């Protein structure tokens, strides 16, 4: 009917800058290729750095009904969106929930998303901090890495990456937040954003060898978070 699903590669933004390759810029080409009369708009899509499911619609009524459905299922404590991620490290518990406040913090010329473990009522009311929740489950583990199922109940930029660092298991290919997880004698611990400037993710030699990458190639490793499944009515 009105819906079309496709899979987006990592690094492709939904809305790009003028002249930048983006999903939005490709939609007219896609419509012509498929020979469809109506224009598409995006119902649901992963962030630029994620890969995975993009849901498009050519009917605004259908889109509105879907958005209402997503709101209702969250109110019923269901999780309409499911992601999977490869992590460096294995969570201590095989399943659980990550709850924390998140906010933007200016650090030099860069704005960072940082956790606020116990946000105050006033900061939440003023929307300086957003309370966030992600449910996770370990699907498999090996070689010091894990495959996780992630189901966010809230939406905040970079929520999944920050939540994974709070598990001390940053996503593979996370060159923005992984530096916040340090290690002493093989035991991981959390660093503050101020003490952990952004850098290319550091991986041990064994994992680099298994990935077939040199240290110089590591900065091109994409973020391994994939939008896998979306619940529809």
Can you give the pTM of this predicted structure?
Answer: 0.92
Q: Give every CB contact of residue 73 below 8 A, 6+ residues apart in sequence.
A: 79, 80, 231
DSSP, collapsed to helix, strand or coil, labels residue 188 as strand
Q: Band of the pLDDT at 52, cuts 50, 70, 90? A: very high
Q: 3-class DSSP state for residue 200?
A: coil
3-state secondary structure of 183: strand
- pLDDT at residue 109, as a whole number: 81
Q: In the structure, what pLDDT confidence band is assigned to residue 142 with cuts at 50, 70 and 90? A: very high
How much is the pLDDT for 48?
A: 93
3-state secondary structure of 73: helix
- In angstroms, the CA 109 to CA 191 distance is 20
Which CATH number is 3-78 given? 3.30.70
Pick from 127, 131, 135, 195: which is nearest to 160 by CA?
135
Considering only residues 125 and 147, tell me which one the structure prediction assigns the higher pLDDT.
147
For the chain, which residues make up each domain, given as ranges? Answer: 3-78, 82-230
Per-residue pLDDT reduced to its tens digit, 191-204: 988 888 889 999 99
pLDDT the model gives residue 153: 92
| pLDDT given at position 141 | 96
Give pLDDT, residue 16. 82
Q: Where are the beta strands (DSSP E) in the chain?
A: 3-8, 41-44, 51-57, 81-88, 95-107, 110-116, 130-142, 145-152, 181-184, 187-190, 225-230
How many residues in total does the chain contain? 233
pLDDT tens-digit series, residues 77-135: 899 999 999 999 999 999 999 999 999 998 878 889 999 988 888 888 888 999 999 99
Handedness of CA 4, 9, 10, 13 (dihedral sign): negative
């Amino acid at each position: 009917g009105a819906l079309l699903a496709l899979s987006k590669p990592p690094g492709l933004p939904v809305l790009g800058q003028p002249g930048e390759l983006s999903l939005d810029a490709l939609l007219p080409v896609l419509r012509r290729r498929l020979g469809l009369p109506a224009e598409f708009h995006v119902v649901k899509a992963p962030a630029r750095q994620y890969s995975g499911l993009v849901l498009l619609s050519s009917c605004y009524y259908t889109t509105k009904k879907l958005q209402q459905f997503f709101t209702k299922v969250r109110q019923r404590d269901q999780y309409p969106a499911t992601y999977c991620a490869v992590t460096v490290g294995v969570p201590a518990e095989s399943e659980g929930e990550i709850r924390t406040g998140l906010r933007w913090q200016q650090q030099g010329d860069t704005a960072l998303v940082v956790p606020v473990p116990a946000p105050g009522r006033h900061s939440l009311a003023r929307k300086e901090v957003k309370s966030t929740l992600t449910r996770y489950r370990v699907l498999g583990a090996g070689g010091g890495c894990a495959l996780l199922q992630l189901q966010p109940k809230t939406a905040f930029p970079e929520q999944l990456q920050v939540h994974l660092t709070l598990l001390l298991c940053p996503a593979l290919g996370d060159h923005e937040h992984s530096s916040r997880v340090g290690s002493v004698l093989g035991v991981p611990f959390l660093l503050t954003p101020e003490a952990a400037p952004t850098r290319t993710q550091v991986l041990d030699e064994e994992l680099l060898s298994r990935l077939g990458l040199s240290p110089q190639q590591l900065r091109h490793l994409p973020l391994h978070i994939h939008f896998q499944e979306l619940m529809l009515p």
